[in-house]
Structure 1
Amino acid sequence: MFKAPFSFEGRIRRIEYLLSAIIGGVVTGIAFWLGVGTAVFGAASNSGGGFGIGVLIGIAALAGGIWFTIAQDVKRLHDVDKSGWFLLLALIPIVNFILGLYMLFADGTVGPNRYGADPKNRMPYQAQPTSVNVTVNMNGEKQETIQTQTDKF
């Protein structure tokens, strides 16, 4: 879990996506408000240096949090076999809410897809032979018919 959290490569499961949103939001918020607090107290003390450091901490916290969030969103889209460019739909009001619900509740692609291996280690369903019928035609030649199971259960 949280393997290469700032990378845009690979796939993540729904639970990792949810946890990354919660943890990322809390950590980014704390770091940002620490930066704001440092800036406010630095400006109030007239030392001058504290304000600049506080602003830099706040900007760095927001930049890191945004990068982390976008990386996790892209990996979640990869899990449902969609390009990371679909994340641009989040810029459209109301569509962003629907996209967020989709990314949170849609099951990922079973088995590997073009973005990597299945994080749940599932393999796609393949029909397995259930019976073999052997018949002999009029010339004495053997013919085999293989019947396959067509449903999952």
Structure 2
Amino acid sequence: MEWMFLPLKRYADFQGRSRRLEYWMFALLMFLAVLVWAGVFVAVAGVGGFQAGAMSNLATIWVFAGVLAYLAILIPAIAVQVRRFHDRDMSGWFVLLNFIPYVGGLIAFVFMVLPGTPGENRFGPDPKDPDNVASMAEVFG
């Protein structure tokens, strides 16, 4: 469970490396949060009803809350992806691949699935290295 929240603890940390586990658990957390948000939105919109294409006040507030939550999560989401690229010994600027229409997101997805470089690279020590566990305990604790 702590892997899901680690990117939030490292909110705007664009330095270092992140394991695949950290990235994908955070992605799972975001997916589950969107499912819950959408479920509540459907329930709220159904209660208020749609009148001539207008949403109820409660649904509008819920959409506004969702936009604020998205903006709050945007920086840690970008930061964890940058650290994943660092784990592959690639520049964090590869995050900009996501802006290439059609294929950019797919290319970034492939890089997120691939394992990181073993051992230390120019962005720091290997997060999977057993000798590095003590420094990761500081992040969790």
Do they fold alike, i.e. is TM over 0.5? yes
Whichever structure has more strand as a proportion of its residues is 1
CA–CA distance in 1 between the matches of 2:78 and 2:93? 11
Instruction: Please say if residues 11 and 118 of structure 1, whose CA atoms lie closer than 8 Å, have aligned partners that are also in contact.
Output: yes
Counterpart amino acid of 1:74?
Answer: V
Contact 2:12 2:75 in 1 (8 A): no
Classify 1:56/1:36 alpha carbon distance in 2 versus 1 (closer, same or farther; 3 Å). Answer: farther
Cα deviations across residues 36-71 of structure 1 (Å, max 9, x unaligned)? 6435545669xx642442122221233234434322
Report if the CA contact (8 A) 1:14-1:76 is conserved: yes
Note the 1:35-74 alignment, pairs <5 A: 35=41, 37-38=43-44, 41-42=47-48, 49-74=57-82
For structure 1, list consecutive stretches of 5 or more residues without a partner in the other structure.
124-153
Out of 83, 93, 99, the position equivalent to 1:75 is: 83
Q: 1:69 to 1:103 in 2, by over 3 A?
A: same
Structure 2 residues without counterparts, runs of 5 or longer: 132-141
Amino acid at match of 2:80: Q
What CA distance in whole angstroms lies between the structure 2 residues aligned with 1:119 and 1:65? 23
In 1, Cα distance between the equivalents of 2:34 and 2:74? 9
Match among 6, 21, 30 for residue 24 of structure 1: 30
Alignment of 1:3-152 (within 5 A): 4-9=9-14, 10-35=16-41, 37-38=43-44, 41-42=47-48, 49-92=57-100, 93-114=102-123, 116-121=124-129
Greater relative contact order (Cα < 8 A, sep 6+): 2
Decide which structure has the larger Cα Rg and report it: 1
RMSD (Å), alpha carbons: 3.0
TM-score by length of 1: 0.60
**How many aligned positions are there?**
121
SS in 2 for 1:12: coil
Displacement, 1:84?
A: 1.9
By how many angstroms is 1:35 displaced? 4.5
Bigger fraction of residues in helix: 2
TM normalised by structure 2 equals 0.64
% same residue: 28
